[in-house]
Every structure is written in C-alpha cells, then in structure tokens.
C-alpha cells in the first residue's frame, strides 16, 4: 500500500513539472510576438509614393527623409487649381520627377538637392498663362531641360550651374510676344543654342562665357522689326555667325573678339534701307567680307585692321545712288579702287 502511494506522489510531481514547463514556454512565445516593431524606421533605402485623387482643389506634399538611395514620386490629378510640391533630400543619387496636369493656371516648381549626379526634369502643361522655373544644383555633370508650352504670353528662364561640362537648351513656343533668355556658365567647353519663334516682335539675346573654345549661334525669325545681337567672348579660336531675316528695316551687327585667327561674316538682307557693318579685330591673317544687297540707298562700310597681309573686299549692288567706302590698312601691297563717279568728280 505504501508503494502505491509513493508511485502516485511521484506521478503527480512529474505532472506538475510538465504543466509548469508548458506555461513558461507559452509566455515566452507571447513576449516574442510583442517585441515585433510596428511602422518603418527613420533610415534610407525606403520607397515613398503618393498618388492624388482625380479631382481638383487638392494639395499633395511629399517630403523624403534626410538620406540618399530613396525614390520619391508625386503624380498630380488631371484637373486644374492644384499645387504640387516635391522636396528631395539633401544628398545625391536621388531622382526627382514632377509631372503637372493637362490644364492651365497651375504652378510647378522642382528644387533639386545641393549635390551632383542628379537629374531634374520639369514638363509644363499644354496651355498658356503658366510659369515654369527649373533651378539646378551648384555642381557639374547635371542636365537641365525646360520645354515651354505651345502658346504665347509665357516666360521661360533656365539658369545653369556655375561649372563646365553642362548643356543648356531653351526652346521657345511658336508664337510672338515671348522673351527667351539663356545665360551660360562662366567656363569653357559649353554649348549654348537659342532658337526664336517664327514671328516678329521678339527679342533674342545670347551671351556666351568669357573663355575660348565655345560656339555661339543665333538664328532670327523670318520677318522684320527684330533685333539680333551676338557678343562673342574675348579670346580667339571662336566662330561667330549672324544670319538676318529676309526683309528690310533690320540692323545686323557682329562684333568679333580682339585676337587673330577668327572669321567674321555678315550677310545682309535683299532689300534697301539697311545698314551692314563689320568690325574686324586688330591683328593680321583675318578675312573680313561684307556683301551688300541688290538695291540702292544702302551704305556698306568695311574697316580693316592696322596691319598687312589682310584682304578687305567690298561688293556693291548693281545700281546707283549708293556709297561704297573701303578703309585699307597702313601698309603696301594692297589695291585701292575708286568708283567711276569719283574720277568724274575730280576726286584724287
């Protein structure tokens, strides 16, 4: 009898130990499940996307974290009267893209971060009365492109960064009453191209940088009452070409740089009452050519440099009442030709 009681006590003891181990194991599992963090942490390598609804009068703002390797995309809805602002983080290797809706009266602004190796693109909508401004960062190796809409009364301004190896292109719309200004950076090895629209009453100005090895080209529109001015840099080995329009009452002026080995050419239009003036540089081995139009009442003046071994040629039109003046250099081996009217009048 005593043996049976001892056996029952041992069995009950082991049974209690087994239940206690089960309870401890369950409590550990519950504690482990409570330790799982909820939400995302405050570090990089995270994607953030915000998509607005399909109606107007909604503001969408997305702010990325303060580290790199993150993508931020904001797409606005398909109606007007909405503001979309995207502010990227303060480090490189991030892409920021903002696409505005297809209607007017919307402002789109994209501000890139303060480092290189980032692409910034802003595409405005297809209507007028919209302002598009793109400001690139302060370092090189970045591409900035601004394409304006296809209507008038819009201002497009592109300001490139202060270093070389960057391309800046501005294409204006196909109508009048628009101002297009392109200011390149202050270093060499950069191309600047400005193409104006096909109508009158527009001003086009291109100012190149202050160093050599840069090409500057300005094409004016095909109508009158337009001013075209091209200022080249102050060094040699640069080509400057100005093509005026095919009508009268237009002034074309080309100022070349102050050194040799540079060609300056000015082609005037095919009508009268137009002044074509070419000032060459102050050194030799440079050709200056001025070709006047085929009608009278037009003054063509060519002023050559002050040294020898330089050809100065002036070709007048095929009619009377025109003054042709050629100022040669102060050395020999140069032909000086006078018109028959000068010999008849007794001029020496």
Note whether residue 216 is domain-resident: yes
Q: How far is CA 132 from CA 88, 154, 202, in A?
A: 18, 9, 19
Question: Contact, 108 vs 132, CB < 8 A?
Answer: yes
Q: What is the pLDDT of residue 326?
A: 44
Distance CA 145, CA 193 (A): 13
Q: What is the pLDDT of residue 105?
A: 42
Q: Are 210 and 309 found together in one domain? A: yes
Q: Are 152 and 207 found together in one domain? A: no
Question: Contact, 82 vs 68, CB < 8 A?
Answer: no
DSSP class of residue 346 equals T
DSSP class of residue 127 equals S
Q: Which domain holds residue 141?
A: 119-172+179-183
Q: Are 210 and 327 found together in one domain? A: yes
Q: Are 292 and 167 found together in one domain? A: no
**Which residues of the chain are modeled with pLDDT < 70?**
1, 15-348
Q: Are 124 and 102 found together in one domain? A: no
Distance CA 200, CA 181 (A): 16
Number of folded domains in the chain? 3
Backbone φ and ψ of 49, nearest 5°: -135, 135
Q: Are 163 and 270 found together in one domain? A: no
Note whether residue 65 is domain-resident: yes
Tell me whether strands 156-159 and 132-135 are parallel, antiparallel or unpaired: parallel
Q: Are 107 and 210 found together in one domain? A: no
Note whether residue 74 is domain-resident: yes
List, for residues 98-116, the tens digit of each pLDDT value. 444 444 444 444 444 444 4
Q: Are 162 and 98 found together in one domain? A: no
Backbone φ and ψ of 154, nearest 5°: -135, 140
Q: Are 230 and 304 found together in one domain? A: yes
Distance CA 316, CA 341 (A): 14
Q: Are 89 and 138 found together in one domain? A: no
Note whether residue 346 is domain-resident: no
- Full-model pTM: 0.14
Q: What is the pLDDT of residue 21?
A: 57
Note whether residue 44 is domain-resident: no
Q: What is the pLDDT of residue 286?
A: 42
Q: Are 212 and 262 found together in one domain? A: yes
Distance CA 246, CA 293 (A): 11
Q: Are 82 and 144 found together in one domain? A: no
Q: What count of Cα atoms within 13 Å lies in the side-chain half-sphere of residue 103?
A: 11
Note whether residue 239 is domain-resident: yes
């Amino acid at each position: 009898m005593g043996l049976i009681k001892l056996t029952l006590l041992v069995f009950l003891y082991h049974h209690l130990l087994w239940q206690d181990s089960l309870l401890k194991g369950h409590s550990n599992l519950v504690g482990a499940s409570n330790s799982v963090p909820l939400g995302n942490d405050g570090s990089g390598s995270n994607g953030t996307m915000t998509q607005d609804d399909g109606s107007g009068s909604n503001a969408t703002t997305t702010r990325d974290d303060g580290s790199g390797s993150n993508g931020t995309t904001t797409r606005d809805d398909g109606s007007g009267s909405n503001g979309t602002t995207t502010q990227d983080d303060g480090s490189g290797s991030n892409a920021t893209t903002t696409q505005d809706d297809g209607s007017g009266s919307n402002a789109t602004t994209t501000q890139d971060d303060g480092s290189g190796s980032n692409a910034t693109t802003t595409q405005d909508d297809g209507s007028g009365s919209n302002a598009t401004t793109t400001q690139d960062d302060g370092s090189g190796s970045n591409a900035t492109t601004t394409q304006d809409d296809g209507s008038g009364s819009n201002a497009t301004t592109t300001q490139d960064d202060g270093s070389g190896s960057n391309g800046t292109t501005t294409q204006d719309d196909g109508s009048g009453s628009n101002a297009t200004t392109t200011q390149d950076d202050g270093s060499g090895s950069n191309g600047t191209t400005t193409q104006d629209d096909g109508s009158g009453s527009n001003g086009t100005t291109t100012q190149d940088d202050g160093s050599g090895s840069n090409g500057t080209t300005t094409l004016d529109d095909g109508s009158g009452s337009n001013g075209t001015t091209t200022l080249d840099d102050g060094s040699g080995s640069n080509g400057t070409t100005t093509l005026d329009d095919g009508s009268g009452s237009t002034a074309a002026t080309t100022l070349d740089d102050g050194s040799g080995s540079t060609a300056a050419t000015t082609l005037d239009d095919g009508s009268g009452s137009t002044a074509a003036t070419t000032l060459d540089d102050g050194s030799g081995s440079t050709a200056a050519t001025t070709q006047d139009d085929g009608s009278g009442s037009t003054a063509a003046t060519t002023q050559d440099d002050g040294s020898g071994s330089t050809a100065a040629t002036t070709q007048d039109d095929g009619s009377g009442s025109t003054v042709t003046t050629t100022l040669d250099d102060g050395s020999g081996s140069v032909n000086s030709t006078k018109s028959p009217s000068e010999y008849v009048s007794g001029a020496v």
